[in-house]
Amino acid sequence: MSNFLRDRAAIVGIGWTPYSKNSGVSTLELALRAIAAAADDAGLRPSDIDGFITHSVGDSATAASVAACVGVPDPHVVLDLVGGGSMSAATVGAAAMAVATGQADTVVCWRALNARSEFRMGGTGRAAPALTEFQYQTPYGLFAPPQQYALVAQAYMDASGATAEDLAAVAITQRDNASHNPRAMMRTPLTLDAYLAAPWISDPLRLYDCCLETDAAVAVVVTTAERARDLDTPPILISGAATGGGHSLYSGARTDYSISAAADLAPRLYDNAGLGPEDIDIAQLYDAFTPLVLMQLEDYRLVPRHSAPEFVAAGNTKVGGQLPVNTHGGHLSEGYVHGLNHVIEAALQLRGTAALQVPGAEVALCTGQPGYVSGVSSALILRADR
């Protein structure tokens, strides 16, 4: 996204299905339900949409099939982005580009997945992924995301001095946030003793360091800022969007895995938005695993290098703190809809209608997975249109 596109597009509708361990329906049905809800939220009909953008890892309905089911015979934009949470923010950035340049009038972005009942990440019984690097990880037993991210976690902990208690502070804070959120799958308070007593998943990651496997869909409707002001809901301006490269654990030029690719992406993102880290009121940070929250606080320049553990432990990421983070509970406690549910929460916060509202929230940072394994990342800066 160039400066030319700054604030020219806006989020006008959001929708979601219940978050569960077994939806009982197909990913196509989930997508259609979330899209219908998002269109209704904007005061539109699903057939008013002429652009369709989604992201997946081979586990969902395609954009073309959704367009057909919605009843749009001539969609102007049909885009399937390959990637899990890495591409969540990129879908909204692509939608902003499409409407600002006149390719489409109204674009819906969504993520639909049955990630618990159907397609479990790293699960067995499926063909090996079509990734060149898979051949390099299999001899070492690195099949599942927790195993891969355990290496990242250990690198960050070694570099920063972060401890298990620092990871626990992330999980406990987000569970406290989720206790206020009716959408959240996990709302029972989490204690340090319970965190430390939980089973290891892949050292240094315990059970509560890992996101929830979730069946759900979320959808976001984007149109031009001008048109948005004539619709039913307060527009949420898309001030900045950026997509960037990432790390590979198995090949590539990067050698310091304690710093994510977000550190490279962040300057472009802020420049696109015409804002800086000091302008961010709330941050919805991709949290497939607890260490990613600490790393992104630093990599997006929200706190100094290696100070994130102390920052979180001091309560600064709680609502009422210096920088509220993952106010819905995040992927760790609300549910894992591959990054796009963070955009839903950001929109609610900027409208002033969130379950656990941050008073005066005007600017939100939303991030995708910060580039590990997939080799790509993306992020957004959203702003209330006051």
Predicted confidence (pLDDT) per residue in 176-204, tens digit: 999 999 999 999 999 999 999 999 999 99
Predicted confidence (pLDDT) per residue in 93-104, tens digit: 999 999 999 999
Catalytic: which of 208, 270, 336, 372? 336
Catalytic: which of 156, 195, 208, 286? 286
Predicted confidence (pLDDT) per residue in 14-68, tens digit: 999 999 999 999 999 999 999 999 999 999 999 999 999 999 887 788 999 999 9
Mean pLDDT computed over 150-171? 97
Per-residue pLDDT at 1:
47
User: Mean pLDDT across the chain, nearest whole number?
Assistant: 93
Residue 121 predicted with pLDDT over 70: no
Mean pLDDT computed over 359-367? 98
Bond into 204 cis (ω within 30): yes
250 is catalytic: no
Predicted confidence (pLDDT) per residue in 294-353, tens digit: 999 999 999 999 999 999 999 999 999 999 999 999 999 999 998 999 999 999 999 999
Residue 239 predicted with pLDDT over 90: yes
Give the pLDDT band of residue 374 (cuts 50, 70, 90).
confident
Per-residue pLDDT at 247:
79
| pLDDT > 90 in the chain, percent | 82
Mean pLDDT computed over 246-252? 71
Tokens read off for 32: 């259609």
Identify whether the C-beta of residue 174 lies closer than 8 Å to the C-beta of residue 329. yes
Which of the residue ranges 109-118, 135-144, 228-237, 357-366 would you say has the lowest mean pLDDT?
135-144
Residue 2 predicted with pLDDT over 80: no
CATH of 3-118+212-384, one of 3.40.47.10, 3.40.50.1860, 3.30.1280.10, 3.40.50.150: 3.40.47.10
Residue 158 predicted with pLDDT over 80: yes
Residue 252 predicted with pLDDT over 70: no
More confident residue, 376 or 222: 222
Per-residue pLDDT at 163:
98
Per-residue pLDDT at 318:
97
Residue 254 predicted with pLDDT over 90: no
Cα–Cα distance, 218 to 41 (Å, whole number): 13
Per-residue pLDDT at 140:
79
User: H/E/C letters for each residue in the chain?
Assistant: CCHHHCCCEEEEEEEECCCECCCCCCHHHHHHHHHHHHHHHHCCCHHHCCEEEEEECCCCCCHHHHHHHHCCCCCCEEEEEECCHHHHHHHHHHHHHHHHCCCCCEEEEEEEEECCCCCCCCCCCCCCCCCCCHHHHHHHCCCCHHHHHHHHHHHHHHHHCCCHHHHHHHHHHHHHHHCCCCCCCCCCCCCHHHHHHCCEEECCEEHHHECCCCEEEEEEEEEEHHHHCCCCCCCEEEEEEEEEECCCCCCCCCCCCCCCCHHHHHHHHHHHHCCCHHHCCEEECCCCEHHHHHHHHHHCCCCCCCCHHHHHHCCCCCCCCCCCECCCCHHHHCCCCCCHHHHHHHHHHHHCCCCCCCCCCCEEEEECCCCCCCCEEEEEEEEECC
Per-residue pLDDT at 366:
98
Mean pLDDT computed over 264-271? 96
Cα–Cα distance, 136 to 129 (Å, whole number): 12
Domains of the chain, residue spans: 3-118+212-384
| pLDDT > 70 in the chain, percent | 94
Per-residue pLDDT at 325:
98
Mean pLDDT computed over 193-221? 97
